[in-house]
Amino acid sequence: MSAVIELRGVSREYGKPPTRALDDVSLTVERGEMLAVVGPSGSGKSTLLNVLGTLDRPTAGTVLIDGIDVAAQTDAQLAGLRAHRIGFVFQQFHLSEGVTSTDNVANGLLYSGVPLRERRIRAVEALHQVGLGHRLGHRPNQMSGGERQRVAIARAVVHRPPLLLADEPTGNLDSKSGAGIVDLLHELHGEGTSIIVITHDNALAEKLPRRIMIRDGRLTADSSSTSERVVVTAGATP
């Protein structure tokens, strides 16, 4: 298995005098892994998410995404990397209120060069994949919170990225809807998607195969050694 993400001695500082939000972080995520990065508010989770998603460059260290060195890429090249290799799911759904679920998902392909008709075909496929084939023409205000998060997940995976980053994906949901989202993430993982969930929720983290703790910008614990990590390939059963 090859690494989908590799961080080597990564630090990230902000401001003057500098505040170190990440401090010498090294992390390898193999293709097909599913894991949680868990820590309290202010621990560095959001900064780590931004670095993992190439939304932010490290102050020091090396970030490799699918073997590509982030430091060697232009901003335009990083935008292309995100468009083809990384899907994002956030606590806030970020859906367009006056737009159907189909077009909300199709908008995830806006900058891919795919024609509108093909974008909508892929959007319908993605909505069926997340169990919303019966909500293709519904707008966000006609759906529950759990359904809206499923639309957001469909939008994140419509371009079939090998890596999905989910930031507090159940944070705005009731327990039943949140459990449904966790089940969906497991299904996507079973189909071969590498998934990293950023969360402060230990109960959510316990439901994932690998758990990494972060505090004060440092990784403090990893629940599994390399030999114990759960890795699946497309079509495998988790």
Nearest of 217, 223, 189 to residue 205 by alpha carbon: 223
Q: Which parts of the chain sit beneath pLDDT 50?
A: 226-238
Do the Cβ atoms of 87 and 164 come closer than 8 Å? yes
Report how far residue 202's alpha carbon sits from residue 200's, in angstroms, rounded to the nearest whole number.
6
How many residues belong to the chain? 238
Q: Say which DSSP state 103 is in.
A: H
**Token couple for 31:** 């293709």
Those residues whose C-beta lies under 8 Å from the C-beta of residue 178, and which sit 6 or more positions away, are 146, 170, 204
Q: Using CA of residue 191, residue 142, residue 86, residue 13, what is the dihedral sign?
A: negative
CATH number listed for the domain at residues 3-228: 3.40.50.300
For residue 174, give Cα distances in angstroms to 89, 149, 187, 199.
Answer: 17, 12, 20, 16
Report how far residue 38's alpha carbon sits from residue 107's, in angstroms, rounded to the nearest whole number.
30
Q: How many CB atoms lie within 10 A of CB 212?
A: 22
Q: For position 225, what pLDDT does the model report?
A: 52
Report how far residue 31's alpha carbon sits from residue 33's, in angstroms, rounded to the nearest whole number.
6
| DSSP of 73-110 | S-HHHHHHHHHHHEEEE-SS----TTS-HHHHHHGGGT
Tell me the pairing of strands 60-65 and 68-69. antiparallel
Delimit the domains of the chain by residue range.
3-228
Q: For position 96, what pLDDT does the model report?
A: 93
Tell me the pLDDT tens digit for each residue of 206-216: 999 999 999 99
Q: For position 238, what pLDDT does the model report?
A: 41
Nearest of 42, 78, 41 to residue 58 by alpha carbon: 78
Those residues whose C-beta lies under 8 Å from the C-beta of residue 228, and which sit 6 or more positions away, are none
- The pTM assigned to this predicted structure is 0.88
**Token couple for 205:** 């983290």
